[in-house]
Amino acid sequence: MTGIEIVYTLLGEIVVILAILIVILFLFSIFFGKLILKKGIVILPKVTLFIINTLYSPFKSIAKLLKLDAHLIDDISIEIRNDINKKKFTKIPASKTLIFLPHCLRHRDCPATLQKEGIKCTCCGLCSIGVIKRKAQPLGYKLYIVPGSSFVKKIVLENRFEAVIGIACHEDLNQMMMLLSDFCPQGVLLKKTGCFETKVDVSEVLDKINSKI
Ligand code: SF4
């Protein structure tokens, strides 16, 4: 065997070993993730979260290949982060906590306008945003209705805060929680996703808001 052939053989073996390792880690994460999602049993959350974060893209591809739930990886990550941050989150005052709501929750006849810090809700009563705003703001929360992730990044840079509540669809929420992982993120998934008139379980959001009281 020539030197080049030996190098190629070695590279091939390394690729195969890496692929097997990724599949084993995928199965490990799905097993512990499903325990959390289906039974609420939390085992090795930080290890599982680290693996999912590190191998996010290959895991999404494997899940797609196996025709698993398209949101499974994001949902596991969100649930684990909610669990591991919960205790610390409740100890941070509402005045140091931001809430991000997606603009797609708005009613089609929403009279609010877009301003430099996002949509300025007037609490007209047509959608759940107004309900959440009326409860959250008197407690000291800063609430933002954002049209996209660029607004989130801008608001994060302009504010001093220690915790965050995010409401979004599976992938957006997971990515927001990853981006803001140093701020004890708590996430609530939309019940109906899409680009327009989405829905959220308001009681789930209020549970997070009231968890500091
Ligand atoms: S409650 Fe606020 S966000 Fe919802 S439709 Fe009315 S003004 Fe728009």
Q: SS3 letters for the chain?
A: CCHHHHHHHHHHHHHHHHHHHHHHHHHHHHHHHHHHHHHCCCCCHHHHHHHHHHCHHHHHHHHHHCCCCCCHHHHHHHHHHHHHHHHHHHHCCHHHEEEEEEHHHCCCCCCCEEECCEEECCCCCCCHHHHHHHHHHHHCCEEEEECCHHHHHHHHHHCCCCEEEEEECHHHHHHHHHHCHHHCCEEEECCECCCCCCECCHHHHHHHHHCCC
Q: Evaluate: CB of 121 within 6 angstroms of ligand 1.
A: yes
Same domain? For 97 and 178 the reply is yes
Q: Evaluate: CB of 122 within 6 angstroms of ligand 1.
A: yes
pLDDT of residue 3: 81
Query: Are 99 and 133 in contact, with CB atoms under 8 Å apart?
Result: no
CA distance 183 to 98: 10
Determine the residue of 129, 133, 167 to mutate for testing ligand 1's pocket, defined as the one with the most ligand atoms within 8 A of the Cβ atom. Answer: 129
Same domain? For 127 and 199 the reply is yes
pLDDT of residue 4: 86
Q: Which structural domain, as residue segments, surrounds residue 195?
A: 88-210
Residues of the chain falling short of pLDDT 70: 213
pLDDT of residue 213: 65
Same domain? For 100 and 197 the reply is yes
Same domain? For 153 and 205 the reply is yes
CA distance 170 to 60: 13
Q: Evaluate: CB of 107 within 6 angstroms of ligand 1.
A: yes
pLDDT of residue 39: 86
Same domain? For 96 and 185 the reply is yes
Strands 163-168 and 97-102: parallel
Question: pLDDT (tens digit, 9 = 90+) per residue, 1-30?
Answer: 788 889 999 999 999 999 999 999 999 999
pLDDT of residue 117: 86
Q: How many domains does the chain have?
A: 2
Same domain? For 99 and 189 the reply is yes
Is 74 a member of any domain? no
User: From atom 8 of ligand 1, which residue's Cα is the shortest distance away?
Assistant: 110
Indicate which atom in ligand 1 lies nearest the CA of residue 121.
Answer: 2
pLDDT of residue 123: 96
pTM: 0.89
CA distance 63 to 58: 9
User: From atom 4 of ligand 1, which residue's Cα is the shortest distance away?
Assistant: 127
pLDDT of residue 150: 85
Indicate which atom in ligand 1 lies nearest the CA of residue 112.
Answer: 7
Q: Evaluate: CB of 202 within 6 angstroms of ligand 1.
A: no
Determine the residue of 114, 121, 197 to mutate for testing ligand 1's pocket, defined as the one with the most ligand atoms within 8 A of the Cβ atom. Answer: 121
User: From atom 2 of ligand 1, which residue's Cα is the shortest distance away?
Assistant: 121
Tell how far the Cα of 133 is from the centroid of ligand 1, in angstroms: 10
Report the chain's mean pLDDT, rounded to a whole number.
94
Tell how far the Cα of 118 is from the centroid of ligand 1, in angstroms: 13
Same domain? For 47 and 152 the reply is no
